Amino acid sequence: MRRRRALVVAATGLVVGLGAAGTAVAAGTGSGVAGTPCSATAKACVDLESQQAWLMKGGKVTYGPVDVATGGHGTETPTGDFAVYDKDRDHHSAEFDGAPMPWSVFFAPGGIAFHEGDRDSGSAGCVKLRNQDATVFFGKLAHGDRVEVR
């Protein structure tokens, strides 16, 4: 009887252990980048819920998270997958009376960009960064790089 109980306990432990190991392996094989809501193919990632952004390369975070300010009610930052299509170190908004948008990296239709700006207020859809972060994003992102906004 003792031997049978010992075998049942050992078998149960083995099954539970294998199940946990299988779960760990499955979690590690996903296409997402740990700590972000974005895929391994993204070069830049924005999480609207946490108001954070990252730079990534080869499925690894290389910079961030950094705090951002995104679009407000009625001027939401668009979600989806985009590509960097233009950069302008000293951009001024044509829409908003020439408002400065230094270190602009444009990635979504309608002139949506990463740029330096006041993070204490929402934007008109752009992703505003503090100066140091904006210069890093400007320097590291290139035309065609994938930007994911979630």
Residues tagged active-site = 115, 126
User: Cα–Cα distance between 8 and 29 in angstroms, integer?
Assistant: 32
Residues 67, 60: contact at Cβ < 8 Å? no
**Could you tell me if residue 59 is left (phi over 0), alpha (psi between -120 and 50 degrees) or otherwise beta?**
left
User: Cα–Cα distance between 79 and 31 in angstroms, integer?
Assistant: 19
Which two three-digit tokens encode residue 5? 């109980």
Residues 65, 55: contact at Cβ < 8 Å? no
Which residue pairs, CB below 8 angstroms and at least 24 apart, start in 110-115?
Answer: 110/78, 112/77, 112/78, 112/82, 114/44, 114/53, 114/138, 114/141, 115/91
